[in-house]
Amino acid sequence: MEEQRESNQKNYFPVADGVWGLKDIFVNVYFISTGEGWVLVDAGLKSAYEKIKVAAADLFGEDTPPLGILLTHGHFDHTASLENLLQDWNVPVYAHHLELPYLTGKSIYPPADSSVGGGLMSALADFYPNEPLDLSGTVKSLPFSLEIPILPEWHYIHTPGHSPGHISLWREKDKVLIVGDAFVTTKQESALSTMMQIKVLSGPPKYFTCNWEQARHSVEQLAGLKPEIVATGHGKPMRGAEMQQNLMRLAANFDKMCIPAHGRYVPEPAVTNEYGIVSLPPKTPGMPERIALGAGLVALAGLGYAIGNNLAWKRKLLSSR
Long-range contacts of 44-51 (CB under 8 A, 24+ apart): 44/77, 44/78, 44/80, 44/81, 45/76, 45/77, 45/80, 45/81, 46/80, 46/81, 46/84, 47/81, 48/22, 48/24, 48/80, 48/81, 49/81, 49/84, 49/85, 51/11, 51/22, 51/24
DSSP, res 51 = H
Question: Which superfamily is assigned to 2-287 in CATH?
Answer: Ribonuclease Z/Hydroxyacylglutathione hydrolase-like (3.60.15.10)
pLDDT tens across 53-87, in order? 999 999 999 999 999 999 999 999 999 999 999 99
Helices (H) and strands (E) in the chain, counts: 10, 14
Band the pLDDT of 320: cuts 50, 70, 90.
very low
pLDDT tens across 300-316, in order? 444 443 333 333 323 33
pLDDT tens across 165-199, in order? 999 999 999 999 999 999 999 988 888 777 777 89
12, pLDDT greater than 90? yes
More confident residue, 296 or 106: 106
For the chain, which residues make up each domain, given as ranges?
A: 2-287
pTM of the model: 0.87
